[in-house]
Amino acid sequence: MLYALSSPLWGYIADKMYHTWILMVIGLMCSAVGLLLLGPSPLIELPNTIWLNVVALIILGTSVSMALLPTFEALLDFAV
């Protein structure tokens, strides 16, 4: 759901940027943080609660849209 809500924002930002790969890198790094929070990670010793899972899924939803939407514009540029 957050992917659908944040996609127009990241699409607008990607249209205004010249180097969209910066947005992709930030999105992938945020996705890594969200995935570390989602599962029981040996790197982060946090209790596995429902609220931590909700926060992790919020981070994942927004960061995946941040990483994927500039990819479509980059593919279009390379195709042209």
Q: What's the chain's average pLDDT?
A: 89
Number of domains in the chain: 1
Convert the pLDDT of each residue in 22-58 to its tens digit: 999 999 999 999 999 987 778 888 888 889 899 999 9
Q: Which long-range contacts (CB under 8 A, 24 or more apart) does 71-76 make?
A: 71/24, 73/14, 73/15, 73/20, 74/20, 74/21, 74/24
Stated pTM of the model: 0.83
Q: Which domain holds residue 56?
A: 2-79
Mean pLDDT throughout 12-31?
Answer: 91
